Amino acid sequence: MDNLPGYVTSELLESMAKYLRLTNYIAASELYLRDNFLLESELKPEHIKRRVLGHWGTVPGLNFIYLCLNILIKQYQQEMMLIVGPGHGYPSLLANLFIEGSMGEFYPELKFSKKGFGKLIHDFSWPGGFPSHANPETPGVILEGGELGYSLATAFGSAFDNPDLIVTCVVGDGESETGPTATAWHSIKFMNPKTDGAVLPILHLNKFKISGPTLTGTMDDQELIDLYRGYGYDPVVVEGEFLYEPMLKALDDSYHKIKELQRMAREENKMDKPRWPMIVLRSKKGWTGPKEYKGLPIEDSFRSHGIPLEHTDSDPGEFELLKNWLASYNVNELFTSKFELLPEIKALVPPAELRMGMSKDANGFNLREFKYPDLKQFEIKFARSAGVSLSNMQELSKYMAEFVRLNPDSFRIMSPDETESNKLHELFKVTTRRYIWPIPFGSENLSPDGRVMEILSEHSLVGWLEGYVLTGRNGVFISYEAFVMIVASMVDQYTKFLKQKTKISWRKDVPSLNIILTSESWRQDHNGYSHQNPGFISSVLNDYSNTTDVYFPVDANSLLLVMEKSLKSVNGVNVIVAGKREMPQYLTMEQARDQISAGVMRWDWMGNDSENPDIVFTASGDNGTKESIAAIDILKEVCPDLKTRFVSITELTCFGIGDNCNLCKISMDHFQHLFTADKHIIYSHHGYPEDIQHLIYNHPAATRFHIHGYRERGTTTTPFNMLVLNKCDRYNLCLDAIKYASQSNKQLAAKRPELEAHFNSLLEKHERYIKENGDDMPEVTGFKY
C-alpha cells in the first residue's frame, strides 16, 4: 500500500496478528469458558458455562481498533481516551485492558498472570462478576453501555476545553440509527481547535443488528462519504480482506489532520469551517469466528451478533465447532514458558501513563478547581417578605455570568436555544454562544469562544454535559420543563452509572450534573397543553440510586444558594425547578440559607397562629407557594378565627428518595414541629400529586396530607385558570382548608356552608371574567400579600 507510515513494517503486522489472536481468544472464551481457560486439556462440556451470555459480533472489530489506536499512541506519545458506543462489545474492553495491565492496576487479582487470565474469563457474565456491557467498574470508561445513542455527544463533551486530548469514539452502525447520534455528528460545528481537544469518530460498520441489516450497512462507499462530508467531516473508508495497513494509514492521516487543524488555529488563528477527520471501518460481523453451520452463514451475518453458537450443550455439531474455533487461535503460542506476553506483543502496549485504561480524564483524576462568586454581591434585599417581585432566573443569570468570568475554561451552559427566553441576558455581558462555522448575517452573541452551548437537541446537550463533568469540569443544562422528558431515560442511565461509580474506591469525585427546569407548566397557558408536563420530576423521583436531589427554590435568594450548593456538589444529579416570570421575594439570604440547609422550614410570619394552627399549608414550587400564601391571606380576612401555619419545602428529597420507609431526613419530632401532631396538611405541589404520595405513602401522617398538583388539566388559557383547572389555585386551597379544619374547629364548621358558597362564587366569577376579557381578574393579577 502506498504512502504507509514509516513505522508500519512487516514485523509490526506480524505482531499485530499475534496480539489480535490473543484478544479475540480471550473475548470468545469470556462468552463460553468456566474452566480449562488455556485449553491445556481437551475441551469438554463441563468446561462450558451453563448460561452462555454476551455478544460476539462487534468484538473482533473493537479489538482491531483498540490495537491500532495503541500503535498510534505509542508512535506519537498521544494522550487518548476511548469511548465505545457498542456497549455489548465489552468482552473486547476486558481483553485489552487485561493485556495492557490496566485491570491489574485497580484489581490486584487481575494482574497479568495465569490465575488472573482465568479469573477474567470465568467472571464475565457470572454472578458477582462483570456484566456484558461497559460500566464504571472498568478503567478508562465514562459511558454506561446500556442505552444506545449517547457515545458521540459524550465524546465531544469530554474534548471541550481539553486541548491535549484526542477522544476516539467508536460508533456502532446500529447505534448510528438512533436520533441522538444523528444530531451528535453536528458537534464538530461547536469544537474550537484552538482551545478544545479533538474527537475522532470511527463508524464501525459490520452491516448487521440483532436480526437484520443496519441502514449504513446497506449504503455504498460514495453514499457514506457524501453523508459524512455533508455533516462537515473529512471521511475515509477502510475496507478489504486485509485491514491492517489501510487502518493504520487512516489513523495516522487522521492524527496529522487533527494536529494541523489545531496548529493553524493556535498559531495562525485560522479555523474557517474546519473539516475534522472520521473513519468508516467496514469489518466482518463476528470476524475470525465460526464461518457457517448447517449451510447458514455465521461470520459476516446477523447470526454472529450475540452468541454465535447457542446450543453447544445440546448440539454435538455446535460443540465441535466451538472446539475448533477456540483452538484456531493457538493461544498457548502467544506466551512465554513463564506465562508472560511474547515480547513482540508486549511491545504493542503503550507506556503506563498513556494506556487508554489509565486515562486520567476517564478515571476522574483530572478534577478542575473552581472559583465561586461571593453571594453577598447578588443578594436580594427588601423591606418586607413578599413586598417585591423579580424574575428569579434573571437574578440567577448575574451569578452565572460571574461564575463564567471566574472559570473561563472549565464551565459551560447548555441550553436548546432558550438562553434569551429564560431571562439569562446577563450571560452575554461576559460571554457568547459558541459556534465555529460561518455565522450568518443578523446573528447576535455568537463566537468561537462562547461558553453558552445552544443546539435544538436535548440529547446532544446532556451528552456534552455528561462528558464534560465526568472529565472534571462543571456546567449546567437549562431547558423547558415539558421537553426535558426527552432525556429522562438518558438521565436515568447516568444515575445508574453514578450509583455504581460510588461503590468503586479508585473512582474519584466528579462534579454533579446540574439541570434547571424553566418555563413551568403553570405558565405555559399561551402555548397550551403540549407545553405542560412536569413528568421529569416524577421520573427522577423514581430513581432509587440516592444520587438525585430535586429543589424548588421559592425566590431569587433561595435559587442562588441552591445553585451554589449544586455547583459545589459531587457525584450526583441536581434538578432545580425555577420560574422565569416575576414572582414575590420572600426570604432574606440568611433565612434562605437556613431553609436550603434543612430542605424545609416553617414560615411563622405567614400564618395567623403558627403555634397552634387549625390547618397547615405547605408548598413546593414558586407558584404553589404564591397560591398558598394568597389563600392564607384571604382566609385571614374572611374567617379570622381559622388559625393557619405555612411550611415551605425547597428540597423534595428531604423526604428520603430511594428509601421512603419514613421521612428519613426528618425525625418524627421535627416532623411534628413542622406539621403538628394531628392537623390536616394542604400541600400545593409543583408537579404531579403522585410525586408526594409516593414519598409519604407509609408515613404515619400520610392520611393528613391533601395534595394539590398538576392533574393533566391544561389548555390555552390564562395563567390563573391553569391553576383553577388543576384545583391548585388559592380559592380551591381555601375550600380544602375549610373542609378539613372544620373537623376540629366548631366555629368554622358553623360557617362552612357560607364560606364555601363565597369561594365557589369567586370561582364562577373568575370563569366569566376570563371568557369576557381574555385575562385574569384584577383581584388576582393585582394581589399583594
Query: In the prediction, which pLDDT does 133 show?
Result: 86
* Rounded distance between C-alpha atoms, residue 595 and residue 38, angstroms: 62
Question: Per-residue confidence at 18, pLDDT binned at 50, 70, 90?
Answer: very high
Please name the residue ranges forming H helices in 176-315.
179-184, 221-231, 244-268
Grid coordinates in use for 395?
Answer: 437574578
Whether the pLDDT of residue 759 is over 70: the answer is yes
Amino acid at 715: T
Query: In the prediction, which pLDDT does 479 show?
Result: 93
Cell 483498540, residue located = 66
Amino acid at 708: H
Whether the pLDDT of residue 68 is over 90: the answer is yes
CA 248 to chain centre: 34
How many Cβ atoms from other residues are within 10 Å of residue 340's Cβ?
12
Averaged pLDDT score across all residues of the chain: 93
Question: Per-residue confidence at 545, pLDDT binned at 50, 70, 90?
Answer: low
Query: In the prediction, which pLDDT does 430 show?
Result: 97
Arithmetic mean of pLDDT, 213-236: 96
Whether the pLDDT of residue 91 is over 80: the answer is yes
* Rounded distance between C-alpha atoms, residue 766 and residue 748, angstroms: 25
Whether the pLDDT of residue 752 is over 50: the answer is yes
Q: Which H or E run includes 626?
A: helix 622-638
Whether the pLDDT of residue 644 is over 50: the answer is yes
Question: Per-residue confidence at 779, pLDDT binned at 50, 70, 90?
Answer: very high
Are the C-beta atoms of residues 506 and 363 closer than 8 Å to each other? Answer: yes
pLDDT tens-digit map of 321-335: 999 999 999 999 999
* Rounded distance between C-alpha atoms, residue 131 and residue 218, angstroms: 31
Arithmetic mean of pLDDT, 53-78: 97
Question: Per-residue confidence at 157, pLDDT binned at 50, 70, 90?
Answer: very high
Q: Which residues contact 764 (CB under 8 A, 6 or more apart)?
A: none
Query: In the prediction, which pLDDT does 132 show?
Result: 85
Cell 465447532, residue located = 321
Rounded to 10 degrees, what is the CA torsion of 22, 85, 284, 296? 100
Query: In the prediction, which pLDDT does 525 show?
Result: 63
Q: Which H or E run includes 679?
A: none
Better-predicted residue by pLDDT, 664 or 343: 343
Nearest to 171 by CA among 161, 163, 183, 189: 183
What percent of the chain is modeled with pLDDT above 90? 83
Query: In the prediction, which pLDDT does 700 show?
Result: 87
Query: In the prediction, which pLDDT does 532 show?
Result: 81
Are the C-beta atoms of residues 249 and 1 closer than 8 Å to each other? Answer: yes
How would DSSP label each residue in 207-242? SB-SSSB-TGGGS-HHHHHHHHHHHT-EEEEE-SS-
Are the C-beta atoms of residues 637 and 645 closer than 8 Å to each other? Answer: no
Are the C-beta atoms of residues 228 and 278 closer than 8 Å to each other? Answer: yes
Question: Per-residue confidence at 724, pLDDT binned at 50, 70, 90?
Answer: very high
Whether the pLDDT of residue 89 is over 70: the answer is yes
Q: Choose the weakest-confidence range: 191-195, 519-523, 598-602, 638-642.
A: 519-523
pLDDT tens-digit map of 377-409: 999 999 999 899 999 999 999 999 999 999 999
Q: What crossing angle do the helices spanning 488-501 and 458-470 adopt, rounded to 10°?
A: 10
Whether the pLDDT of residue 523 is over 80: the answer is no
How would DSSP label each residue in 308-352? S---TTT-HHHHHHHHHHHHTT-GGGGB-TTS-B-HHHHTTSPPG
Are the C-beta atoms of residues 125 and 101 closer than 8 Å to each other? Answer: no
Query: In the prediction, which pLDDT does 662 show?
Result: 38
Whether the pLDDT of residue 657 is over 60: the answer is no
pTM over 0.85: yes
Q: Which domains does the chain have, with CATH numbers?
A: 10-358 (3.40.50.970), 375-583 (3.40.50.970), 604-781 (3.40.50.920)
SS3 at position 17: helix
As to burial, measured by CB atoms within 10 angstroms (0-12 exposed, 13-18 middle, 19+ buried), residue 127 is exposed
Arithmetic mean of pLDDT, 504-521: 92
Question: Per-residue confidence at 661, pLDDT binned at 50, 70, 90?
Answer: very low
Q: What Å distances lie between residue 488 and 244, 295, 538, 692, CA to CA? A: 41, 45, 10, 19
pLDDT tens-digit map of 115-137: 999 999 999 999 989 888 889 99
Query: In the prediction, which pLDDT does 658 show?
Result: 37
* Rounded distance between C-alpha atoms, residue 357 and residue 380, angstroms: 48
* Rounded distance between C-alpha atoms, residue 265 and residue 271, angstroms: 5
What DSSP state is assigned to residue 606? T
Query: In the prediction, which pLDDT does 726 show?
Result: 94
Are the C-beta atoms of residues 72 and 78 closer than 8 Å to each other? Answer: yes
